[in-house]
Chains A and B, each alone.
Chain A
Amino acid sequence: MSDTSLSVAQDSPSPESPTGATIELENLTKRYPGSPQPSVDCVNMEIRAGETVIFVGPSGCGKSTTLKMINRLIEPTGGRIRINGEDVTDMDPVRLRRQIGYAIQSSGLFPHMTVAQNIAQVPKMLGWQKARIKDRVEEMLDLVGLDPGEFHGRYPRQLSGGQQQRVGVARALAADPPVLLMDEPFGAVDPITRDHLQDELIRLQRELHKTIVFVTHDFDEAIKLGDRIAVLRERSHIAQFDTPEAILTNPADDFVSGFVGAGAALKRLNLTRVGEVEITDYPTVTVDDPLQDIFNALRGSGYNEILLLDKRGRPYKWLRRGDLMRARGSLARAGTLVVDTVTRDATLHDALEAVLTDATGRVAVTGRRGEYTGVVDMETLMNSVHELLEADRLDALEHQHDLEEARAHQTHEEQEGTAGGSGGSGEARA
């Protein structure tokens, strides 16, 4: 059980073909005139291409300000911003923003324009041909799961909140920008729609590999969406910048653990898929087997129950010894129906739920067409979770060690005076 593939610990699922761009923030600072403290104080951060980074923190911590400095909606008073290595701190902000998607809370759709006109705004400003814009609008509507024929000519107020938000994302992505900034985009929709939109965003990102910077105050949303999460405290100081796994298992300090909230181990279950833990074999029989064979199989298995598959190999019933005694030649009424199965893509959280509700204490794992591939039981789950947590802990320790070394190195350089103003390594200082 120890050599199951635990690919969880890797930093981020590095995409095959990243279309995103790197973003580097170097000593980024915003100081408003008249206030003694800067509202964003010296943020250093390196965001990889194709990565989803979540800024999470209490309200007023400057996370939104930090985000808005990336597309210079708020002009930084100090520091540099580099996108794909190019310094954009002094670039024409209007031109810069056309290369950066921007989606905000309450969608920000222009109410006097139709859905199609809204989406077409950026391509139009970039001077695309009419026909190309038209195609692109249809494509974007398709991408966010809205029927182009139906929604094309509608006005924003004729859409539900969730639909407006989808159009907002479509507009942000219309010109295919490498970077997408999202400022609490799902903050104003109901929880069910929000869940839906989050799933949608995950699917989109799997297709598009943009660099996404996403601001939220909802830590669960951060865990769900982020490749890495930056937990920010007041003045946008980075309390911890790491993978969701590392933050859950090894919060850097009390502030972070306070923010993570209760139930970190349970939340951790959301981050691992059933396919990543050991799926054990289990004795099965099919409905076509003669009764005597089923008997023998059960007796020989050493288990109390056996899994009965239907004609297409899908889990059908759990059969106990007693059930077979009472069956009297027919399986029609014997055994208990299999209520819940999970796929390899389900989270461990779903699997645990299924195991807890199933009378046998295990859940059948099914393949693409619902066919049986194995089972996961309580013991496997517990062991996997322990291993995961242990691995996370080791990882976090190693990471911390690396950081300390880097910091020591930098301090050393600074003392030597070799590190000039621009010599910052760009390393995220947690």
Chain B
Amino acid sequence: MNFWEYLGNRHEQLLMDAYQHASAVFQCMVLATVIGVLIGVAAYRSGWAANVATTGTSVILTIPSLAMIGLLIPVVGLGVPPTVVALTLYGLLPIVRNCIVGLRGVDPSLVDAAKGIGMSRFARLVRVELPLAWPPILTGIRISTQMLMGIAAIAAYASGPGLGNEIFRGLGSLGSSNALNQVLAGTLGIIVLALLFDAAYVLIGRLTIPRGIRV
């Protein structure tokens, strides 16, 4: 069976895996974005807190993904939970770091003006600082997504969802007739998904970055 025949035969299973893969990455990204921005907002004003936040999240990123998922299994069990926890944790670093950099990059005279015309701390953050920091934050989200696409494949190790199952199945049966096709289909599927997500981010950027600060 050549690769195309394999695709034709298994397209239902592949589409299902791809959908689950995308869905897992998307949901984890939403979580990582919310948590990451919250951490960034909490930390950006003090040099000390910002350091702790970036160092902490980069330490997480250095843990090998297989080990991380393996370590999570006894804590949260098999299947979806370790996948979500691991992906969310891995996704934090680019978002936290870009959020801090973005918020710090806001022109202090604008913050001064916002304060001076009577904006509360919250209004300043929501109406001035975060919108101005949004382009770098979005870049962070984009980088995170690319990263998670690959890492999500490992989730299959803990019986998680996604195209990783395809790859692991292939690797597990190396030498058999479909092994290579399986690995290839899983890998290419992830690449295609990553490209689709990236295109979506370009569109989101177009739609959400105000014209006044678009480069």
Q: Do A and B bind each other?
A: yes
Q: Cα distance A95–B123 when bound, in Å?
A: 13
Are B120 and A71 in contact, with the CB atoms below 8 A? Answer: no
Interface segment, B108-116, B155-163, B170-178? B108-116
Are A98 and B131 in contact, with the CB atoms below 8 A? Answer: no
Contact of B116 among A71, A95, A156 (CB under 8 A): A71
Contacting residues, chain A, for B116 (C-beta < 8 A): 71, 73, 97, 102, 104, 108, 181
Interface segment, A109-117, A301-309, A352-360, A375-383? A109-117
Let me know if A37 is at the binding interface, CB within 8 A: no
Contacting residues, chain B, for A156 (C-beta < 8 A): 212
Are B118 and A110 in contact, with the CB atoms below 8 A? Answer: no
Asked if A121 meets B212 with Cβ closer than 8 Å, knowing A104-B109, A108-B109, A110-B128, the reply is no
Q: Which residue of B lies closest to A99 (CB)?
A: B118
Are B132 and A102 in contact, with the CB atoms below 8 A? Answer: no
Interface magnitude class on chain A: 20 to 34
Q: How far is the CB of A13 from chain B (nearest CB, A)?
A: 28
Are B210 and A113 in contact, with the CB atoms below 8 A? Answer: yes
Let me know if A84 is at the binding interface, CB within 8 A: no
Are B109 and A97 in contact, with the CB atoms below 8 A? Answer: no
Contacting residues, chain B, for A97 (C-beta < 8 A): 115-118
Let me know if A332 is at the binding interface, CB within 8 A: no
Q: Cα distance A94–B156 when bound, in Å?
A: 53
Within 8 A of B (CB), among A343-390: none
Let me know if B119 is at the binding interface, CB within 8 A: yes
Q: Most chain-B Cβ atoms within 10 A of its Cβ — which of A105, A110, A114, A155?
A: A110
Let me know if A317 is at the binding interface, CB within 8 A: no
Contact of B123 among A100, A105, A125 (CB under 8 A): A125
Are A172 and B117 in contact, with the CB atoms below 8 A? Answer: yes
Are B132 and A111 in contact, with the CB atoms below 8 A? Answer: yes
Q: How far is the CB of B184 from chain A (nearest CB, A)?
A: 45
Let me know if A157 is at the binding interface, CB within 8 A: yes
Let me know if A106 is at the binding interface, CB within 8 A: yes
Contacting residues, chain A, for B114 (C-beta < 8 A): 110
Asked if A98 meets B118 with Cβ closer than 8 Å, knowing A108-B112, A108-B113, the reply is yes
Contacting residues, chain B, for A94 (C-beta < 8 A): 118-120
B96-125 interface code vs A (CB 8 A; 1 in, 0 out)? 000000000000011011111111100100
B192-215 interface code vs A (CB 8 A; 1 in, 0 out)? 000000000000000000111100
Q: Cα distance A102–B113 when bound, in Å?
A: 7
Are B212 and A108 in contact, with the CB atoms below 8 A? Answer: no
Are A104 and B113 in contact, with the CB atoms below 8 A? Answer: yes
Contacting residues, chain B, for A294 (C-beta < 8 A): none
Let me know if A314 is at the binding interface, CB within 8 A: no
Determine the main DSSP class of B at the interface with A. Answer: helix
Q: Most chain-B Cβ atoms within 10 A of its Cβ — which of A100, A111, A172?
A: A111
Q: How far is the CB of B117 from chain A (nearest CB, A)?
A: 5
Q: Which residue of A lies closest to B114 (CB)?
A: A110
Q: Cα distance A195–B211 when bound, in Å?
A: 32
Q: Cα distance A104–B213 when bound, in Å?
A: 21
Let me know if A279 is at the binding interface, CB within 8 A: no
Q: Cα distance A99–B116 when bound, in Å?
A: 10
Are B117 and A121 in contact, with the CB atoms below 8 A? Answer: yes
Are B112 and A104 in contact, with the CB atoms below 8 A? Answer: yes
Q: Cα distance A112–B209 when bound, in Å?
A: 8
Are A122 and B213 in contact, with the CB atoms below 8 A? Answer: no
Within 8 A of B (CB), among A104-155: 104-106, 108-114, 121-122, 125, 155
Q: Which residue of A lies closest to B132 (CB)?
A: A112
Q: Cα distance A110–B129 when bound, in Å?
A: 10
Are B109 and A105 in contact, with the CB atoms below 8 A? Answer: yes
Let me know if A171 is at the binding interface, CB within 8 A: yes
Are B117 and A171 in contact, with the CB atoms below 8 A? Answer: yes
Contact of B118 among A104, A109, A122 (CB under 8 A): A122
Q: How far is the CB of A93 from chain B (nearest CB, A)?
A: 8
Contacting residues, chain A, for B211 (C-beta < 8 A): 155
Q: Which residue of B lies closest to A153 (CB)?
A: B211
Q: How far is the CB of A224 from chain B (nearest CB, A)?
A: 24
Contacting residues, chain B, for A109 (C-beta < 8 A): 113
Are A112 and B117 in contact, with the CB atoms below 8 A? Answer: no
Within 8 A of B (CB), among A196-224: none
Contacting residues, chain A, for B120 (C-beta < 8 A): 94
The 10 closest A-B pairs by CB, nearest first: A108-B113, A155-B212, A98-B118, A102-B116, A97-B118, A112-B210, A112-B213, A112-B131, A111-B212, A112-B212
Please give 17 more A-B residue pairs, beta carbons under 8 A apart, in addition to A104-B113, A109-B113, A155-B211: A73-B112, A73-B115, A100-B118, A102-B116, A104-B109, A110-B132, A111-B213, A112-B131, A112-B212, A112-B213, A113-B210, A121-B119, A122-B117, A122-B118, A125-B117, A125-B118, A181-B116
- A sample of 23 cross-chain residue pairs with beta-carbon separation below 8 angstroms, ordered by A number, consists of A73-B112, A73-B116, A95-B118, A96-B118, A97-B116, A97-B117, A97-B118, A99-B118, A102-B117, A106-B109, A108-B112, A108-B116, A109-B113, A110-B113, A110-B127, A110-B128, A110-B132, A112-B131, A114-B212, A121-B117, A155-B210, A157-B212, A171-B117
